[in-house]
Amino acid sequence: MSLTDRPALSVVAPCFNEEGVLPEFVKRVGAVLDKVGGSAEIVLVDDGSRDGTWAVMGEAAARDPRVVAVRLMRNHGHQLALTAGLSVCRGERVLIIDADLQDPPELLSDMMALMDQGADVVYGQRRVREGESLFKRATAAAFYRVIGRLTDVEIPSDTGDFRLMTRRVLDLLLAMPERHRFIRGMVAWIGGKQVPLQYDRKARAAGETKYPLTKMVRFAIDAITAFSVVPLMASMTIGWIMAIVGFAFFVYSMIGFVLGYNIPGWTSLMAATGLLGGMQFLMLGIIGAYLGRLYDQNKGRPLFMIRDIIGGDRK
């Protein structure tokens, strides 16, 4: 297939240890593509899985010529695995979806209809999040509210990466070289006509969540540092406040010395030192987070490394 002979639609799904759910995912996506009609491909990306995910992908590619299986050299994480799949896909329209079936592929027809009306991006917006704990729902809600206040780009709340994009939007997205990627924010930054499609998100069909608390925190930090300099500005503001507090302690001490007050020695000194020292370390940590991302970016290493591509006409 040449670049001028693109399929009408690509479905891209990053996968990590999805052996249990992948056969059902491929079956449902295939049925949806049969209903929609037209040429299509299903790009599955194995993000360094430790189970039989790659074997399942190979079997799917052997049965269905629309399936393209991509295996990365190691685990790169969800956002970079998704980027790898987006760089391989060829469709004029591209559906991003996770393989856990929490986001129903059957919504593709509704998304296509909205795009036929002129939308550049149709993104899924969750009304209900089944199978998730109160803590997970609360932290997700807090994350979207916080990032909405910190960034200049309007990032829709209660959304994931589940969305349909045009080739034009995809090409602009792939031109962005960021290593610490927050794809839903990057797509929102591109602009164009972006339309929501509300739906009820289901519980995982099988397997375990790939976003425990530690990964959620890391993802939130990547999102904030990628789209906002507010923490840096806040560090400067807090630095000035702490400097004023420190100067006030100095003035208080000098007045007490001149007037002969019996100033408690090390208690006030240690309180001031602890307060100022703690805030300094906090501000240095914020600055370090930004510098660390600049360091990673400037190394210029590939975002991902592909080991194998099979299926379709890929050899």
pLDDT (tens digit, 9 = 90+) per residue, 2-32?
455 789 999 999 999 999 999 999 999 999 9
* Whether residue 202 sits in one domain with residue 57: yes
Which range marks the domain in which residue 116 is found?
9-211+302-310
Note the pLDDT of residue 88: 95
Look at residue 120 in the predicted model and tell me its pLDDT. Answer: 97
Give me the pLDDT at residue 209, please.
61
In the predicted model, what is the mean pLDDT of residues 281-292? 72
| Alpha-carbon span 209 to 135, nearest angstrom | 14
Considering the domain architecture, whether residues 262 and 174 belong to the same structural domain is answered as no
pLDDT at 253 over 80: no
Q: How far apart are CA 127 and CA 140, in angstroms?
A: 13
Reported as a pLDDT band with limits 50, 70 and 90, residue 222 is low
Are 271 and 284 contained in the same domain? yes
pLDDT at 1 over 50: no
Neighbour tally for 168: CB within 10 Å: 12
Q: How would you classify residue 77: left for phi > 0, otherwise alpha for psi between -120 and 50, otherwise beta?
A: left
**CA–CA distance, 117 with 114 (Å, rounded to integer):** 5
Percent of the chain with pLDDT strictly greater than 90: 45
Q: What was the pLDDT predicted at 307?
A: 87
Does some domain include residue 3?
A: no
Measure CA of the first residue to CA of the last residue in the chain; give whole Å. Answer: 12
Q: State how far the Cα of 54 lies from the Cα of 72, in Å rounded to an integer.
A: 10
pLDDT of residue 246: 65
Q: What's the mean pLDDT in 67-81?
A: 94
DSSP 211-256: --HHHHHHHHHHHHHHH--HHHHHHHHHHHHHHHHHHHHHHHHHHH
- Residue that has been written with the tokens 């509300």 in this structure: 198
Q: How many domains does the chain have?
A: 2
Q: Are residues 81 and 167 in the same domain?
A: yes
Give yes or no: residues 306 and 285 share one domain: no
Are 207 and 257 part of one and the same domain? no
How does DSSP assign 76-111, residue by residue? --HHHHHHHHHHH---SEEEE--TTSSS-GGGHHHH
Whether the pLDDT of residue 204 is over 70: the answer is no
pLDDT-based confidence at residue 111 (cuts at 50, 70, 90): very high
96/210: higher pLDDT: 96
The two counts, helices (H) then strands (E), for the chain are: 10, 8
Same domain, 49 and 14: yes
- Residue 2 inside a domain? The answer is no
My answer on whether 82 and 113 are in the same domain is: yes
Residue 224 within any structural domain of the chain: no
Q: Who has greater pLDDT, 263 or 33?
A: 33
Based on the fold, state whether residues 201 and 283 are members of the same structural domain.
no
Query: What gap in Å lies between CA 85 and CA 87, rounded to an integer?
Result: 5
Pick from 284, 211, 276, 213: nearest CA to 241: 276
Q: Say if residue 91 is in the same domain as residue 171.
A: yes
Q: Is residue 221 part of a domain?
A: no
CATH number of 54's domain: 3.90.550.10
Q: For residue 225, is it within any domain?
A: no
**Cβ-based neighbours of 96, under 8 Å, separated by 6 or more:** 12, 13, 82, 86, 161, 162, 163, 164, 165, 183
Distance CA 49, CA 16 (A): 5
Q: Residue 199's pLDDT band (boundaries 50, 70, 90)?
A: very high
Give the residue, 307 or 289, on which the prediction is more confident. Answer: 307
Asked if residue 89 belongs to a domain, the reply is yes
Using the predicted structure, report yes or no on whether residue 211 has a pLDDT greater than 60: no
Lowest mean pLDDT among 136-145, 205-214, 239-248: 205-214
Residue 73 in any domain: the answer is yes
Mean pLDDT of 267-278: 63
Q: Based on the domain organization, do 136 and 199 belong to the same domain?
A: yes
164 or 301: which carries more pLDDT confidence? Answer: 164
* 238 and 115, same domain (yes or no): no
Mean pLDDT of the chain: 82
User: Exposure pattern of 268-279 as b/e (b: 16+ CB <10 Å)?
Assistant: eeeebeeebeeb
Report if residue 218 sits inside a domain.
Answer: no
Comparison of pLDDT for 303 and 224, the residue scoring more:
303
What is the C-alpha to C-alpha distance for residues 19 and 79, in angstroms, rounded to an integer?
Answer: 20
- Angle formed by the axes of helices 213-227 and 134-150, to 10°? 10
pLDDT at 158: 82
Q: So what's the pLDDT on residue 226?
A: 66
**What average pLDDT score do residues 115-121 get?**
96
